[in-house]
Amino acid sequence: MSAHPKTAEPLFAAAWSTKASWDTAWREASSALREGLGGRSPDLVVAFVSHAVAGPREEIGQRLSAELHAKTVLACGARGVLGGEREVEAGPALSLWAACLPDTEVRPFEVRLGGEEGTAGTAFEGLPEVRDASRAGVLVLADPYSFPVVDWIEALHDKLPETPVLGGLAVPEEGSEHALLCTANGVSNAGAIGVVVEGAVALSAAVSQGCKPVGKPWVVTGCEDNLVLKLSGRPAMEVLMETLAQLPPEEREALQRGPFLGLAVDARKSVFGRGDFLARGLIGIDKKRSALAVADPSLRNGMSVQFLVRDAASAGEDILHSVACVRGARRFDRTSAGALVFTCNGRGQRMFGEEHHDARHLRQALGADVPVAGFFALGEIGPIGGRNFVHGFTASTAIFHTRS
């Protein structure tokens, strides 16, 4: 449990450096972070260091613990990082983020393969423990190459079905078989590292898939593995062609350029909007069967679906909308909120044609005083419709905030 007196306020701080030398980047960023903390020892520090920073990056967890007296540390390597309203997609950058969380437990964990097998079919050691699901959230950094993240998310759902899980899949350095994951004890050989946050400070999710529904909803009436054969009794490819023909030119072009199918998460709904669908890419067409191939094997008959389009405007609107759902009418500042964002390495300039897209929209949605850090991930973790998933081309934001 946090040792802060009950009268202490939460406090969040962030700092970064774009210096290429590890020692210089460390001095610049850690000094600014220490100043932002105003002499307080943080309960949690999270750090992202790009591969282009030259030096002993593996020391970062231990240095943060020793020099900032951080109680718990999570850190990972990355190709690109975010800080404030800026993004560095390639090149040197070190982004640090810290939180003082009074009356809140921050319990670290490390997960490895092994132990008792769960219903998902894979056995894990070190699954996090939660005492009160209504006051808890999980933050996680994972290795995408050595660790079955999707299976872990399924196993965690069996154990903690009501607990939001947010985080990202770290990016290994070129030529490496493992991503750099660090804690206060040094480099971790676990498949995933994380913390449970439980208590007075909430951990909420703002997941932006960057998609909007087009056309109308359909019901899957024929499927096989990841193939959609029939939609509402009609050949799936025929339905897609009809939808394209009926769309305005801009939406038609967006759907042709990057087609997605939204899988409704809540089977009870019949009217859908933003956040009701799990976005999955359409990855091919079986012309002989007039079927659509979807990048998800969980298709089932009776599932509601709708075609989705993804573009810069939709992605920006999605960030503003998802954060607003968490913030409500409150005004956030550095004593009431902080955020960590895990955005896909397929976003950025490649997707939007401009720099700093997600960082700028997140800063606008949260407010200029809210400390933000993050990195470009190989996969993003966050809940849609109350269930946690691993996403692609998504910005998943973990918002720490005082409970209303």
In a domain, 2, yes or no: no
| Residue 37 located in a structural domain | yes
* 287 & 243 share domain: yes
Residue 3: pLDDT over 50 = no
Q: Do 203 and 219 belong to one domain?
A: no
* Same domain, residue pair 69 and 148: yes
Same domain, 169 and 124: yes
Domain total in the chain: 2
Answer yes or no: do 138 and 218 share one domain: no
* Residues 57 and 184 reside in one and the same domain: yes
Per the prediction, the chain carries an average pLDDT of 93
Residue 22 has pLDDT above 70, yes or no: yes
Distance CA 105, CA 202 (A): 11
Q: By C-alpha distance, which of 93, 121, 108, 79 is closest to 183?
A: 108
Confidence of residue 116 (pLDDT cuts 50, 70, 90): low
Q: Report d(CA 131, CA 211) in Å as an integer.
A: 35
Residue 46 in any domain: the answer is yes
pLDDT computed for residue 119 by the predictor = 47
**Residues 67 and 185 grouped into a single domain:** yes
CA distance 186 to 63: 9
389 three-state secondary structure: strand
312 backbone φψ class: left, alpha, beta (φ>0; ψ -120 to 50): alpha
Share of the chain above pLDDT 90, in %: 85
Q: Which residue has the higher pLDDT, 187 or 177?
A: 187
Q: Which residue range is the domain that position 250 belongs to?
A: 211-309
pLDDT band at 232 (very low <50, low <70, confident <90, very high): very high
Same domain, 95 and 188: yes
Instruction: Specify the pLDDT at position 325.
Output: 94
* Same domain as 152, residue 199: yes
Extract the tokens encoding 19: 């210096």
| Number of Cβ within a 10 Å radius of residue 10 | 23
pLDDT greater than 60 at residue 80: yes
- pLDDT of 19 > 90? The answer is yes
Cβ atoms of residues 356 and 86 within 8 Å:
yes
What confidence tens digit (pLDDT) does each residue in 36-49 have? 999 999 999 999 99
- Residues 357-389: tens digit of each pLDDT: 999 999 999 998 999 999 999 999 999 989 999
